Amino acid sequence: MPAMTTLDDRAVPTEAVTPLIRGVAVLRQLTEAGGTLSASGLERATGLARSTVDRIAATLARMGYVRLDGRDVVLAPPVMALGNAYLAALGLPALLSAHADALADALDESVSLAVGDRDGIRFIHQATRRRAMSLSFRIGDLLPAERTAPGPLFATEWTDAQWRSWRERRAADPEDRGFVAVPPREHLSSDADFERRAARARKDGWALDDQLIEPGLVAVSVPVRDPRAGGGGIACVANVVSHTSRHTAADLRDTLLPRLRAAVAEMERELREAPDARPAAAPAGLAVWTGASKQELGREFVESLARGLTVLTAFGEGRAELTLTDVARATGLARATARRALITYEHLGLVRQSGNRGFALTPSVLSLGYPPLSRTSLAQIATPHLAELADRVHESASLAVLTPSGEEIQYTARAATSRVMSVNITVGTRLPAYATSLGRVLLADLPPAERKLDDLAPLTPRTTTDPATLLGALEDARTRGYALVDEELEAGLRSVAVPVRDRTGRVVAAVNVAMHAARRSVEECVRDVLPELMETAGRVEADLRVAGRFARVAMA
Ligand code: PHB
């Protein structure tokens, strides 16, 4: 099927896979729109026919990459697997993030890491300490090189062709409309200006951004050189970002640049000493599920899109450079299919040739869904799953965390169907931990010394207040993996809760279903509701694992 579409001026290779080009366009438009677009909005943004948009959305939904919410198509955490493949293959966030975070703590200023992406810079890590008053960027955001501090440093490595395409882009888009993360350019700076900054950066080994993005925002940057690459090219650039209310640009250079340089020296030592990334077990047959989905969904499932997208997830830690054979093996796709997907991605700027017969992902893979999801919260992750659960069991479902004192739980997300409690529970409501199923699950994971189980007041005739009995209940909750509380908080109210664990296995929250005691017996609750609840917790945990791999997920 020869491709007829032209996305831009470059000719589309005849072997490119049209549905893959269209699927990528949908993901990019959703990302630029902040994560959500209606189907008709997507139609306008991509220029595709409505029936095509619907089939692409159905396919992406099947993959878990989007949710269909009424008329809206919404990016969902599993799509971060694409950007994670790039970040894992790159290896820098795993080695350098902790250094960046420590510097941000020490300076009490934001610190970020960026890589060069054609004539722009793209963030691969953000340790944000930004107060009000200035924009803050997200992992995956793309900025025009000339309006940043890292830009001139990357430009020291640009080829003539890169300089040429930079000039062409500036002429074609004088207001930076193509960069959705930055406000439009107001002061037209000359090309020569940036050429001078790049020449300075080469001499100094650092660069400044004195309010090039917006008034008040200042940054200082130092390149992190990669000793592994032999030549000592720039692996990424480390930035300290502040506001003129705290530091002028000159002040950043005088006071914070030395500390940034010291941190960069540590980062370079880390890169030097890091053992070669050892691939986890190579994935195999990533794409085998697509045939079954095709059988089930028929015309609505665009199999070539689903297959093509799995090609990106064949890359990862210790798998930065793959041959066609590697990709075919990891995905289970025929070589010809894998090859056409790679050709398509190369055309789209998402894959580049690397080394001898290898391919590698480019930073642009982060433009497929990453920025809007990279600053999510557990509550946001859980909400659609709670709504589905509430729909299935016809009862209210909630997510809660333990308050810092450890004495109360606080609701952070909720899907209500009925109101069975005399108190109206909303997000933010606090209740005593010891008398709730959510609290028991959370207390069960605390070290015994941190549990406060003395002087507990009975809330109903059935409330457990005896510390020894309560300890037994917590031990039960821990070994069984759930807590059931029967009319101990309020007469007539029964609830069952299970823990939500993060990537490290730590319990970070709990989910529950609450119901009127007359609706189901305790046995029915365990038999019918608990499995659904566990399934929901499993989905929340799976999303949290993907979202939390390189980005920070807020827990409350
Ligand atoms: C940022 O990390 O937000 C940042 C970095 C460099 C800049 C501006 C902002 O020049």
Decide which of 273, 308, 343 is a domain's last residue.
Answer: 273
- What's residue 9's pLDDT? 58
Which atom of ligand 1 is nearest to 137's Cα?
3
Q: With respect to residue 261, please indicate whether it lies within any of the assigned structural domains.
A: yes
Mean pLDDT of 153-163: 97
Q: Are residues 450 and 496 in the same domain?
A: yes
Of residues 424 and 530, the one with the higher pLDDT is 530
Closest CA to 119 of 161, 84, 182: 161
123 alpha carbon – ligand 1 mean position (Å): 9
In a domain, 193, yes or no: yes
Q: Which of 223, 233, 232, 231 is nearest to 267 (CA)?
A: 223
pLDDT > 90: percent of the chain: 88
Flag whether 336 is in a domain. Answer: yes
Looking at the structure, tell me whether residues 403 and 337 fall in a common domain.
no
Distance 262 CA to ligand 1 centre (A): 19
Q: Both 238 and 137 in a single domain?
A: yes
pLDDT value for 285: 85
pLDDT-derived band at 4 (thresholds 50, 70, 90) equals very low
Q: pLDDT-derived band of residue 229, with 50, 70 and 90 as boundaries?
A: low
471 and 385, same domain (yes or no): yes
Asked, for residue 8, whether it belongs to a domain, the answer is no
Give the whole-angstrom CA distance, residue 134 versus residue 115.
22
Domain boundary among the residues 347, 373, 399 is at 373
Query: Which of 135, 143, 146, 147 is the best mutation target for the ligand 1 pocket, counting ligand atoms within 8 Å of the beta carbon and taking the most?
Result: 143
Is residue 27 in some structural domain?
yes
Q: Which residue has the higher pLDDT, 10 or 500?
A: 500
CA of 234 to the centre of ligand 1 (A): 17
Same structural domain, 322 and 262: no
Q: Which domain holds residue 340?
A: 18-84+279-373
Q: Is the beta carbon of 260 within 6 A of some atom in ligand 1?
A: no
Tell me: do 113 and 215 sit in the same domain.
Answer: yes
Q: Which of 308, 338, 373 is the last residue of a domain?
A: 373
Q: Please report whether residue 3 resides in a domain.
A: no
Decide if 370 contacts 31 (C-beta within 8 A): yes
Sheet holding 207-210: strands in order across? 142-144, 120-127, 110-117, 234-243, 217-225, 207-210
What average pLDDT does the chain have? Answer: 94
CA-closest residue to ligand 1 atom 7: 148
Tokens of 459: 């809330």
Query: Does the pLDDT value for residue 108 go beyond 90?
Result: yes
Average pLDDT over residues 325-341: 97
Predicted confidence band of residue 419 (pLDDT cuts 50, 70, 90): confident
The CATH number given to whatever domain includes residue 368 is 1.10.10.10
**231 pLDDT more than 80:** no
Say whether both 542 and 410 belong to one domain: yes
For residue range 435-466, what is the model confidence (pLDDT) as tens digits? 999 999 999 999 988 898 888 999 999 999 99
By percentage, how much of the chain surpasses pLDDT 70? 97
Q: What value does the mean pLDDT take over residues 406-420? A: 92
pLDDT tens for each residue of 459-517: 999 999 999 999 999 999 999 999 999 999 999 999 999 999 999 999 999 999 999 99
Q: Is there a single domain that holds both residue 399 and residue 542?
A: yes
Q: How far is the CA of 140 from the centre of ligand 1 (A)?
A: 13
Looking at the predicted structure, is the pLDDT value of residue 7 above 80? no
The closest-lying atom of ligand 1 relative to the alpha carbon of residue 110 is 2
Q: Across the strands, what pairs with 496?
A: 484, 513
Q: Are residues 256 and 188 in the same domain?
A: yes
Mark whether 497 and 404 lie in a shared domain: yes
Instruction: Please indicate, yes or no, whether residues 294 and 255 belong to a single structural domain of this protein.
Output: no
Q: Is the CB of 241 under 6 A from ligand 1?
A: yes
Q: What is the CATH number of the domain that holds 413?
A: 3.30.450.40
Residue 397: phi and psi, rounded to 5, are -130, 145
pLDDT at 279 (0 to 100): 72
Residue 130 CA, closest ligand 1 atom number: 3
Cβ atoms of 440 and 477 closer than 8 Å: yes
Distance 161 CA to ligand 1 centre (A): 25
Pocket of ligand 1 contains residue 112 by CB under 6 Å: yes
Beta carbons of 112 and 123 less than 8 angstroms apart: yes
Predicted TM-score (pTM) of this structure: 0.95
Domain-embedded: residue 479: yes
**Does residue 382 fall inside a structural domain?**
yes
| Minimal-distance CA residue to ligand 1 atom 10 | 148
Going by pLDDT thresholds of 50, 70 and 90, the confidence category of residue 160 is very high
Residues 48, 130: one domain? Answer: no
Distance 289 CA to ligand 1 centre (A): 41
Say if ligand 1 is within 6 A of residue 149 CB: yes
Per-residue pLDDT of 113-149, as tens digits, reads: 999 999 999 999 999 986 666 788 999 999 999 999 9
Q: Looking at this protein, which amino acid is placed at residue 333? A: L
Alpha carbon of 135 to ligand 1 centroid (Å): 9
Going by pLDDT thresholds of 50, 70 and 90, the confidence category of residue 284 is confident
Number of domains in the chain: 3
- Give the pLDDT score at 5: 41
For residue 138, report the distance from its CA to the centre of ligand 1, in Å.
Answer: 10
